[in-house]
Structure formats: structure tokens, C-alpha cells
Amino acid sequence: MIKLYGHELSGNSYKVRLLLELLGVPYEWVRVDLMQGEHKSSPFLALNPFGQVPVLDDGDNTLSDAQAILLYLAARQGDGQWFPIGPLEQARVVRWLSTAAGEVRQGPESARLHHLFGVKAIPIERAQEKAAFILDQLERHLSDRDWLELDRPTIADIAVFPYVALSGGGGIDLAPYPYVRAWIGRIQALPGYVPMTGLEAAAETQP
């Protein structure tokens, strides 16, 4: 059985758990105590020398990095539902994986780390500027479509979703972004959806 190493407050751990649930793939959740520094321990560093969650153990294959794991799981399924088969469609989806690791990380994710976890090394004004930029981009992009790419949810949506939906934890108000909030609601309505700590409040704000 697949093992997923992560932490319940990690949006990157959550996005992998969410995809596993949506795919209906059985897995074992292995909690890594980030607050006690377990991710920097020798046993965990043997799994991921970068000392980060999530880590996926799929028998002979051990993978780290949330976006890479999403791609692996979706491609492993093989039917093109969550990761398309055509090269142009693949490129469009991968673009959003890069956005999740770039603008979303620099904006909403960093603001949440600053406010919720007290990471004062993060320049909060810069994180707020980055958050406003990516939320404005998402709002425009979602104004005439239900999903980030194609006519169905893909790993593009799963990659971007958690930290955008958790923006409130970084002091960022989603009220000015009705299309983003509607998109959040569509993801939360997917069959197999499981919530994450901190997302319950976001669900209550959907139009």
C-alpha cells in the first residue's frame, strides 16, 4: 500500500492526500511531526534529503515534492482524467503546477507561514503583493471557465487550490474574488473531497 508522509497543517501534504482520495487510491497516512523537527531527523532525511513533506512511498518508488507526486499519481492512473494525454494540454496543466510552486508559494503560502506559524523571516508586505497578483490573475482566468484548464478538474486545480483556499490564514481576504471563491466551492463539491484543517471556514464563505 502507498504511504504518504505529511503533516495535517501542510497544504502541500494535503493536496496529495486530496488527489489520493479523489482517485479512490488506498494509502496509509504517516504523520511527520514538523513542530518537533521530525522532518530533519535521520530516518526522514533518508526518505527526502531536502527535509520536506510530503513524501510518497509507493513500494520501489519514493517521491518528494507535492507537484511531482501529483503528476506521478495522475499519470499512473493512465486514463487522462486528471493529467491529459495531449502534449499541448499537458503543457497547460504543468504551467499551473509551476504557478503553485512559484507565485502561489511566494504569495498566499508565504503569508500563511508568516501569520500562522510566525516565520518572521518572510517579508509579509512582499508576500501580500505576490498574493494580490496571483489572485487577480486567477480571478480573471476563472471569469469565463469552471476549471483552470480543460473542461474538467485536473491536477492543475489540485495543485493551486489549497494555499489559495487557505489565504485567510495569511491575512488575505478572498471577498473581492467571487470567481475564485466559486472555484473553491466547485472543488469542495467534488465526489471524494476531504477537508483540511483551516478550510472549513473557507467553505462557509462560498456564494
Span 70-98, average pLDDT: 95
Look at residue 111 in the predicted model and tell me its pLDDT: 95
Mean pLDDT of 102-106: 97
Average pLDDT over residues 172-192: 97
Q: Quick one: pLDDT at residue 35?
A: 83
Contact 108, 129 (CB under 8 A): no
**How far is it between the farthest Cα atoms of the chain?**
49
* pLDDT higher than 80, residue 205: no
Those residues with Cβ within 8 angstroms of residue 42's Cβ, 6 or more apart along the chain or in another chain: none
Dihedrals φ, ψ of 100, to 5°?
Answer: -60, -40
With beta carbons less than 8 A apart as the criterion, state whether 207 and 180 touch: no
Q: pLDDT-based confidence at 115, cuts 50/70/90? A: confident
pLDDT at 207 over 60: no
Q: What is the pLDDT of residues 13-36, one digit of tens each?
A: 999 999 999 999 999 999 999 888
Helix (H) or strand (E) holding 195: none
Residue 157 confidence (pLDDT): 98
**DSSP readout, 116-142?**
HH--TTS-HHHHHHHHHHHHHHHHHHG
Looking at the predicted structure, is the pLDDT value of residue 204 above 70?
Answer: no
Q: With pLDDT > 70 as the criterion, what percentage of the chain qualifies?
A: 95
What are the tens digits of pLDDT across the range 40-74? 999 999 999 999 999 999 998 999 999 999 999 99
Find, among 6, 104, 8, the residue nearest to 64 by Cα.
Answer: 6
202 has pLDDT over 70: no
Asked if 205 and 181 count as a contact pair (C-beta separation under 8 A), the reply is yes
DSSP string, the chain: -EEEEE-TT-HHHHHHHHHHHHHT--EEEEE--GGGTGGGSHHHHHH-TT--S-EEEETTEEEESHHHHHHHHHHHH-SSSSS-SSHHHHHHHHHHHHHIIIIIIIIIIHHHHHHHH--TTS-HHHHHHHHHHHHHHHHHHGGG-SSSSTTS--HHHHHHHHHHHTGGGGT---TT-HHHHHHHHHHHTSTT----TT-HHHHHT--
